[in-house]
Amino acid sequence: MRIYIILICLKVITCFSVKPNPICCFPNQFETFMFMSQGIVDIGTGDVGYGYGYANGTIKTAFDGVNQLTYVHEHSQSFMSVWPIPVILDSIDILDYINNKQWRVYADGSCDKLDVGLPLYQECIPGNATLISEGMFAQTGQAMKTFMFHDRIYLDPYEITVTVIMSDNDNGECTPVRMSVSDSYVFDSNKNVDITVADIYDFTTGIKDRSVFTPPSSCDKGEKIEEAKSTKHSGRIRDILRNFANKQKTAVTN
């Protein structure tokens, strides 16, 4: 499972700035803890279809827009039609946008090095988002609103729905409590299903422990790779489904 977030993009890689001015933005430094679930159906072409899968897990993040750093620790289990046992994914991504460096650290201590490739933008609800609902958060008197919009994550178009609590102190600030991300309905021609839902159980402003942005010593020996060539990247649902389909197609043709 790889959520390209989450919080708007918080597997946090990037959201592009948009016009008109955003409705509200998340704080420029924050930490989160969230539970996520993801369902995928990949419809292959030709003789072999891809299959389907489901994943759930937790993600801890730290977003530092001031120093252009992000941290994401994902622990998840994936269940797939093409694999007999659950696939465990436990990885940490540390991104340094200023120096264009990314480290992916796995549970066994091994480390991959990658380029970031894109700048880091503040997480915002764009000005062209559609207001779906609004109400009050418990008895606090704070306004809670749900917005839906299309945005690009890693250049791919997604439909995003986000529920936020509006700040009482700053009209331009908000904090997320729930979101969903899907590329299933952006184009009518896309028959695949890819839906991720995240419930955000903890959201705090500021960075409590800056050491999370320091890669472990095992990364000193890590070899720089391309994203598509990461062997452990294949632990994610869509990659496993497509790798399985490719092997089946090769077996059929041979």
Give tens-digit pLDDT for 198-240: 999 999 999 999 999 999 988 887 566 555 444 454 456 666 6
Lowest mean pLDDT among 44-58, 68-82, 198-212: 44-58
Per-residue pLDDT reduced to its tens digit, 61-71: 999 999 999 99
The residue among 162, 170, 253 whose CA lies nearest residue 205 is 170
Residues 6+ apart with CB under 8 A from 157: 150, 151, 183, 186, 187
pTM across the whole model: 0.79
Q: Which pLDDT value is given to residue 241?
A: 65
Residue 227 carries which side chain, given as an amino acid letter?
A: E
Task: Report the alpha-carbon distance of residue 177 to residue 153 in Å, rounded.
Answer: 20
**Rounded Cα–Cα distance for residues 38 and 61 (Å):** 18
- Residue pointed to by tokens 């696939």: 87
Lowest-confidence pick of 6-10, 180-184, 200-204, 238-242: 6-10
pLDDT band, residue 254 (cuts 50/70/90): low
